[in-house]
Structure 1
Amino acid sequence: MTEQLINAGSEVVLHFDLKLQDGSAADSTRVNGKPAKLVIGDGSLTANFEACLMGLKEGDKKSFTLAPEDAFGLPNPDNIHHFDRSRFSADAPAKEGMIIAFTQPGGVEIPGIVRSVAGDSVTVDFNHPLAGQTVTFDVEILKVGQGA
């Protein structure tokens, strides 16, 4: 049996460690011992991340660094919103650094990070927490199969 190389439509099981430029860990599948499972081309990864995985096979390990626009994107000023403090309950007052789930029309929840609380104004950032960051992925390919 020939080894399968990762290509469009491949189902891939992998471990990854995600680090920021300063070397600090941002995320890792190894912490809980649960590898990530994904299908190349399903839209869950950026094209540049997928391109870095192409041609790898089971057992391969690779490290690659992605610029912000190739990873989680650049911060979008349109994703920063100001709310009146009265919209937050006494049970869950807005505090800087908190991550709060906001329900959009249609019932979809999106997380926002409270960036500042000043007077009656609360500034909430709906950008991905890693937007604007250059990140390094260390990946280990555990399994490569063909997607459905």
Structure 2
Amino acid sequence: MNRFARHLLCPLLALFGLALGLQQTALAQTQIKTTGLYRCGPEGRELRDSPCPGKPDTAPSPLSFDQPQAAQAQAAKAQAQQQARQADQMEQARLRQEALDLQRNATPAGIDGLKGIAQAEPTASAPKSVAHKHPDKRKAPKAGKPAKPAKTAPGSK
């Protein structure tokens, strides 16, 4: 298969997969269920599924909610399990790769980072003598230059 055909085939496969995903989403719509809800207490802030104790003759307010079908719940559980298995596989692959990287990087590198320490060239020569030599005598400080006389402006005394 030539390069052009591969570049054309990949987007077509992606569109086909997207179309299948949208079709399955359309088939797996949730069912809208309705139930009665009673508002009790001050300003109707207490919600109950049975009539209020002081007002048994009040009508319930409708409450609509999405109820997933059994097939949807089973598909969601299967997808969660599949994603958990995939996450475990990815974690194992990551741990294997990290162990391999640690094994490859076990030998320390030289300063330039490209050579190992055994192959690196010494950057400084060894000291000629270990004993530190002190100078015999310090030089006396030099005498300072004489200060220049201050210039006076013309016309001032």
* TM-score category of the 2 structures, normalised to the smaller one: under 0.3
For the pair shown, which has the larger CA radius of gyration, 1 or 2? Answer: 2
| RCO higher in structure (CA 8 A, sep ≥6) | 1
> Larger helix proportion, structure 1 or 2?
2
> Larger strand proportion, structure 1 or 2?
1
Please give the TM-score of this superposition, normalised by the length of structure 1. 0.17
Please give the TM-score of this superposition, normalised by the length of structure 2. 0.16
